Amino acid sequence: MVTMEEYFNTYQSVDPQNVLHWVRVGEVSDFPENAGGCIKYKSKQVAVFHFERTNTWYACQNLCPHKLEMVLSRGMTGDAAGIPKVSCPLHKKSFSLEDGTNLNGEEYRIATYPVKIDNGNVYIGFAD
Amino acid sequence: MKKVIVVGNGMVGYKFCEKLAAHPQRDQFEITVFGEEPRPAYDRVHLSEYFSLKSSDPLLLAPRAWYEENRIELRTSELVSEIDTSIKRIVTHKNNSFQYDYLILATGSSPFVPPLEGVSKTGVFIYRTIEDLEAIEEYAKKLQSQGKYKAAILGGGLLGLEAANATKELGMETSVIEFAPRLMPRQLDQQASDLLIKKIESLGIHVYLGKNSKEIIGSPEITGIDFHDGSSLDVDMLVISAGIRPRDELAIKAGLLTGTRGGIEVNRKMETSDPSIFAIGEVALYNNGIYGLVAPGYEMAGVAVDQITGGEKLMSPTIDMSTKLKLVGTEVASFGDPFLENENAIAIRYENKQKGIYKRINISPDGSKLLGGILVGDASDYNNLFQLYINEIKLPEDAEDLILGARGGDGKSSFGSALDLPDSAQICSCESVSKGDICGSLTSGTCSSLKDVIGLTKASSCCGGCKPMVTELVNETLKSMGQEVKETICEHFEYSRQELYDLVKIHRIPTYNDALDQLGKGHGCEICKPVMASIFASIFMETANRQVGIQDSNDRFLANIQRNGTYSVVPRVPGGEITPEKLVVLGQVAKKYDLYTKITGGQRIDLFGAQLHELPLIWKELIEAGFESGHAYGKSLRTVKSCVGSTWCRYGMHDSVSFAIQIEERYKGLRSPHKLKGGVSGCIRECAEARGKDFGIIAVEGGWNLYVCGNGGANPKHAVLLASQLDDETCIKYLDRFLMFYIRTAAPLMRTAPWLDKLDGGLDYLKKVVVEDSLGIAEELENEMEELVNKFTCEWKEAIESPEMMKRFKHFINTDDSNEELVFVPMREQKMPKPW
Ligand code: SRM
Ligand SMILES: Cc1cc2nc3c(=O)[nH]c(=O)nc-3n(C[C@H](O)[C@H](O)[C@H](O)COP(=O)(O)OP(=O)(O)OC[C@H]3O[C@@H](n4cnc5c(N)ncnc54)[C@H](O)[C@@H]3O)c2cc1C
Ligand code: SF4
Ligand code: FES
């Protein structure tokens, strides 16, 4: 079980220029289209989303900051005024997959990670 | 630049800042706000929700950043301790001093604690701030760990009942102690109070009336209360809610005029006895009264802002104290003068003890005006009655229709349309927005939608009570302007659900992606995806396994997600009839996978706590034993409840179990705009509660009566009679037509009862379409249903037989590990998720 504090320490956004390791997490076809899947890296759970219509990929913490449950990969994806987002399956709070902000105007935010596709493989960028 | 200092960052102090920040002359003021509490102003009205929210963030009226953006200096945790009116300066407890040109006192009030012996004992609390609630919660937990459960609330007013509800929800055995001979003595008469007590006691809260407390006993922790009548009550904690005391201590020290029973004297400009000092909110003594509600406080804030910016706005001469009780599991409201009954007023009362409803209206002797009233048990007409009262609208001929509903006539409401209200009618009292403001913003072209109107006027943004009326006004005004009020489903599709249904059907659009390409834009969202999924399912009977990404998250995994991200398993048990063999299988599976097991309210069995990767394993075993998906996760047919009926019951007229099973088997898997439930009862004793369902069938002499459009849930409605004395075949034929008509035309997430409410022509029209086939579509509807029925497949069976589909049910894509973060705690002989 994650405490609030541990969670703030564990999940911090990574900018593409700060990536230390590009971790291979599977092939493109392992991930559902226009929906999410969850991967594990060290003790982290990261949700990975493939927006097939624009062929873009996003990754964010799997932990929903609202009630601290490991569920975001199972949320529905979509966009709000063009911003790609995921909506939590528990209470439908929506988060921008670009910068992790909450789109309902609340103060929660989530950490996001860069995704790279190379030769049919999916890589997530971590700084640890 | 003029310096404005606001003392108190509570609801009203904040409202003052918000209004001044938005004022055209904003730039002429430098604003500083002092708040004694550690956090910025929060929504005290919804304070009790703190217990379920577990965080104060959602209650904040604005985050700290808002004050920064609006160049307002916010100093929290800083108490203003002194005012020197002669040199216009205040000093805080940190010994900082500040000059002002205008001083706004919005210090609110504190709970009144009667001078009883023992009030300072451990375990005695008040109920006003987030810190109070935190302390109460912590203490309750501590008590419970010691096996102590007794809480009492001193005071049976509005707030006391709210506090009682809160301690009950915290798991305490709660009593309410009231000095007066009735509950909510300022709002309710004896009859209303008697009914309310019954309701409250049925919720497990004890009520003691006419109790004069003498002393709080225990040392150092409270263990009980002694009363003057010699009796006593054992309690482990006490919450005092005995009224409020304006926080006028600063004003008294500064020599401002205050009332003998507290409160800072103000005039209609909200000026105190010193013209550069204003007092607003619960600390202000206006018209010899202190008003413990936000709406008058907000009005005061508006008046004060107007006054310092050179306007001439005055406070209304009389203050309305109408209120609705929140949170005690029953509806209670009072408005105007609830007690008035003399030569100038006549009271009309309606009481139904069986249903627990009491309604009273006080009208003028000539029957033309509504002067006040009380509603207990059913306050759905509160908004309408309040409008009639506050706007002094002429009442209809038969005033009793207002509480009894028009009888015998066309079934129309006795209230008419919201558009008939005068422009001055106040619709949102929290933000004081009139009907004219709302309609004017549309007719002037400033706004063009409900969202615009709420954004501009703030109507319904506070307590939300007026939202239905604001919505109606906006829709009706737009209609009257010749604009079609288009109920588009979301930003990605400019169509209503019904239009999308027709378009998908006519153009045979095969997938959601094609629909986005042809009819919509963007990536879609969590609103339009499930709507389209439901449309595809209703037209093509496709299961949730085909277009996985657009399914609502429960449908995507064919199970209901629970608090901790695990799932529940609900196999179908048609009509609630189950063999002992199958019961044994359920028990064995639950045991094997360590699932929490419970009988549902829908006559079947729910197994909770399955992890994603376990779902297919569990379902494989269940399917082998002959079970099918119960679609408990879908907006689809859930259950058709049955009573035992004529096979065993001595009163049964027909075989209700067989018929319920037949119907559940027929419509299983059918997806619809919202969930669908049915019931079949073997006689009018109605043990299957069929009239509480979307369709209910009741055995009568000569056949079945078919009722439609009922539901339980948040807004219970009894189903209404569609046709009577039907044979099995006709009953099913009518049901096919009714269900298909609903599936085609309802808005997303609209159950059958609100759908019927909105259907032009109402029940008569529905009867014409379904029974008389006035549209000539009956055969088409029946054929469509027949096709769907024939195409049924169990989607769980489909999923476990396909390795490709099975890939979905894994927690991690890159490893076979399971989610280690799950924590369960024991509960009775089973388990539950660790609480939030
Ligand atoms: C399990 C069960 C409670 C129980 O332990 O008994 C239940 C559990 C839930 N109900 Fe219910 N309802 C259950 C019987 C009922 C009943 C009783 C009945 O069916 O006779 C009602 C009132 C009747 C009715 O629906 O008209 C009921 C009215 C609701 C409502 C309010 C619907 C409304 O129109 O106001 C909701 C909310 C909604 O659907 O939007 C709801 C929603 C829910 C949800 C789906 C909330 C959620 O999203 O998590 C719960 C799912 C828990 C789960 O994972 O299974 N549940 N719910 C019952 C399952 C019955 C079954 O066998 O399928
Ligand atoms: C549990 C609960 C439920 C309620 N439900 C309803 C309801 O349903 N409907 C309704 O209309 N009303 C309701 N109310 C009442 C409503 O919350 C109050 O009317 C409203 O908050 C009054 O606003 P105010 O700004 O005057 O006072 P407050 O919101 O109390 O704000 C005053 C603030 O000033 C601070 N302060 C005081 N003195 C100083 C000082 N010297 N220096 C610095 N700061 C100071 C206080 O700490 C406080 O934060 C409820 C209240 C409670 C407690
Ligand atoms: S009433 Fe229904 S939705 Fe509410 S807690 Fe119970 S099961 Fe969940
Ligand atoms: S847990 Fe994600 S929205 Fe509540």
For B598-620, the pLDDT digits (tens) are 999 999 999 999 999 999 999 99
**Per-residue buried b or exposed e for B7-25, using 16+ beta carbons within 10 Å of the residue's own CB:** bbbbbbbbbbbbbbbebee
pLDDT of B344 > 90? The answer is: no
- ipTM of the complex model: 0.73
Q: Which residues contact B142 (CB under 8 A, 6 or more apart)?
A: none
Specify the pLDDT at position B537: 93
pLDDT of B405 > 80? The answer is: no
Query: To test ligand 2's pocket by mutation, which of B282, B298, B429, B463 has the most ligand atoms within 8 angstroms of CB?
Result: B282
pLDDT of B464 > 70? The answer is: no
Specify the pLDDT at position B167: 95
Q: Do A40 and B808 touch (CB under 8 A)?
A: no
Q: Which of B53-62, B519-528, B552-561 has the lowest mean pLDDT?
A: B53-62
Specify the pLDDT at position B409: 45
Query: To test ligand 2's pocket by mutation, which of B7, B37, B45 has the most ligand atoms within 8 angstroms of CB?
Result: B45
Nearest-CA distance B525 → chain A (Å): 4
- Rounded mean pLDDT, B239-262: 95
d(CA B208, CA B176): 6
pLDDT of B412 > 50? The answer is: no
The residue among A29, A63, A72, A76 with the most chain B CBs within 10 A of its CB, best to mutate, is A76
Contact pairs from chain A to chain B, CB under 8 Å: 103
Measured from the alpha carbon of residue B328, the closest ligand is: 2
Specify the pLDDT at position B576: 96
Using CB atoms, which residue from B491, B565, B812 is nearest to A40?
A: B812
B400 CB burial (10 A radius; 0-12, 13-18, 19+): middle
- Rounded mean pLDDT, B237-251: 96
**Per-residue buried b or exposed e for B506-523, using 16+ beta carbons within 10 Å of the residue's own CB:** eeebeebbebbeebbebb
In the numeric block, the tokens 């929906």 are attached to A35
Specify the pLDDT at position B367: 86
Q: Which of A93-107, B401-415, B498-512, B810-824 has the lowest mean pLDDT?
A: B401-415
Confidence at B410, pLDDT banded by 50, 70, 90: very low
Specify the pLDDT at position B173: 95
- Rounded mean pLDDT, B61-75: 95
Residues 90-119, chain A, touching B (beta carbon < 8 A): 90, 92, 94, 106-108
Q: Do A37 and B813 touch (CB under 8 A)?
A: yes
Domains of chain A, CATH where assigned: 4-126 (2.102.10.10)
Average pLDDT, chain B: 91
Q: Do B524 and A79 touch (CB under 8 A)?
A: yes
Specify the pLDDT at position B427: 85
Q: Which residues contact B656 (CB under 8 A, 6 or more apart)?
A: B642, B643, B644, B645, B646, B680, B681, B682, B688, B697, B699
- Rounded mean pLDDT, B737-742: 97
- Rounded mean pLDDT, B729-758: 94
- The candidate with the shortest Cα–Cα distance to B5, out of B25, B33, B24, is B33
Nearest-CA distance A18 → chain B (Å): 23
pLDDT of B290 > 50? The answer is: yes
Percent of chain B with pLDDT over 70: 97
Specify the pLDDT at position B393: 84
- Rounded mean pLDDT, B269-293: 96
Answer yes or no: is the C-beta of B91 below 6 A from any ligand 2 atom. no
d(CA B175, CA B161): 10
Token pair of A120, please? Answer: 């049919």
Q: Do A90 and B552 touch (CB under 8 A)?
A: no
Spell out which residues of chain B touch residue A92, defining contact as CB-CB under 8 Å: 526
Before B748, cis peptide (omega within 30)?
Answer: no
Q: How many angstroms is it from B433 CA to the middle of ligand 2?
A: 22
pLDDT of A79 > 90? The answer is: yes
Express each pLDDT in B520-541 by its tens digit: 999 999 999 999 999 999 999 8
**Residues placed in the known binding site of B:** 643, 649, 683, 687
Q: How many angstroms is it from A84 CA to the middle of ligand 4?
A: 18
Q: How many angstroms is it from A92 CA to the middle of ligand 4?
A: 6
Express each pLDDT in B621-638 by its tens digit: 999 999 999 999 999 999
pLDDT of B486 > 70? The answer is: no
pLDDT of B325 > 60? The answer is: yes
Specify the pLDDT at position B362: 92
Q: Which residues contact B507 (CB under 8 A, 6 or more apart)?
A: B518
Express each pLDDT in B132-177 by its tens digit: 999 999 999 999 999 999 999 999 998 999 999 999 989 999 999 9
A7 CB near a chain B CB, below 8 Å? no
pLDDT of B407 > 90? The answer is: no
Which run of H or of E encompasses A76? strand A76-80
pLDDT of B411 > 50? The answer is: no
- Rounded mean pLDDT, B643-655: 95
**Per-residue buried b or exposed e for B629-658, using 16+ beta carbons within 10 Å of the residue's own CB:** bbbbbbbbbbbbbbbbbbeebeebbbbbbb
Most confident of the ranges B193-202, B249-258, B472-481? B249-258
pLDDT of A2 > 70? The answer is: no
In the numeric block, the tokens 């009072």 are attached to B334
Token pair of B402, please? Answer: 């207002």
Report field, pTM of the whole predicted structure over 0.95? no
Nearest-CA distance B369 → chain A (Å): 44
Specify the pLDDT at position B95: 95
Specify the pLDDT at position B480: 81
Q: How many angstroms is it from B713 CA to the middle of ligand 3?
A: 9
Domains of chain B, CATH where assigned: 2-110+246-308 (3.50.50.60), 124-242 (3.50.50.60), 497-556 (no CATH), 558-633+811-836 (3.90.480.10), 635-801 (3.30.413.10)
- The candidate with the shortest Cα–Cα distance to B463, out of B295, B715, B243, is B295
Confidence at B342, pLDDT banded by 50, 70, 90: confident
Name residue B298's beta-bridge partners.
none
The residue among B43, B61, B814, B818 with the most chain A CBs within 10 A of its CB, best to mutate, is B814
Per DSSP, the three-state class of B566 is coil
Nearest-CA distance B477 → chain A (Å): 27
Specify the pLDDT at position B742: 96
Q: Which atom of ligand 4 is nearest to the CA of A71?
A: 2
Q: Do A85 and B557 touch (CB under 8 A)?
A: no
